[in-house]
Amino acid sequence: MDEIYQQNLQRSQLEYRRQHIYLRSLPRCLGLVLGNGCNIGCPHCYQAKNGDNLLKPPAIGRELRREFAGFYPHLATLRIQGGEAFAFPGFRELIEDVRASVERPILSVSTNGTLIDEEWAETMCAHRSATSPSRSTAERPKPTRGCGGERTSARFWPMCGAFNIGRESSGANCPIWTPSSS
């Protein structure tokens, strides 16, 4: 692990042991809910959809990505959620920012899997990213009206096998894909 991360980890542990109220360490886990837009309309989804996306307009997206990047060297996990991350304009640039900032795998993405094609799968493997299929993808082989479960399963899981995703790995080559619990 790199020096910046290790220093932050040690500071965080010390602050915890000493029960500090005001912390100087930066978070080691950061969850970003980028928006609520989605490409499918599962009736069992609890999330309201109005198309919000933190990364648009582009000028705001660039500024937010710059601010997020200040955290990346300190993180063990960057969890991306909210609607369908792969559908958000600016998502590809965000993961490129992560890759430019840190070499260790920190990216974790929750997805319904319907937009992951071969190019995205290769990109996620290259980033050594953990990707969790949403509950509708992982647990619903037959779709309810408007849900992408069957369409997803037909494309998503075979692609995982093609990239050795889903098998235990050291994290050096490909991520482990597991169903999310939420």
CA angle 178, 139, 134 (to 5 degrees): 55
Span 36-50, average pLDDT = 75
Mean pLDDT of all residues in 28-35:
88
Tokens for 66? Answer: 């710059």
For the record, the structure tokens of 47 come out as: 């999330």
Q: Which of 54-58, 75-79, 93-97, 131-135 has the lowest mean pLDDT?
A: 131-135
Most confident of 28-32, 49-53, 150-154: 28-32
- CA-CA-CA-CA torsion for 159, 164, 167, 171, nearest 10 degrees? -120
CA 137 to CA 104: how far, in whole Å? Answer: 28
Is pTM beyond 0.85? Reply is no
Tokens of 10: 């040690």
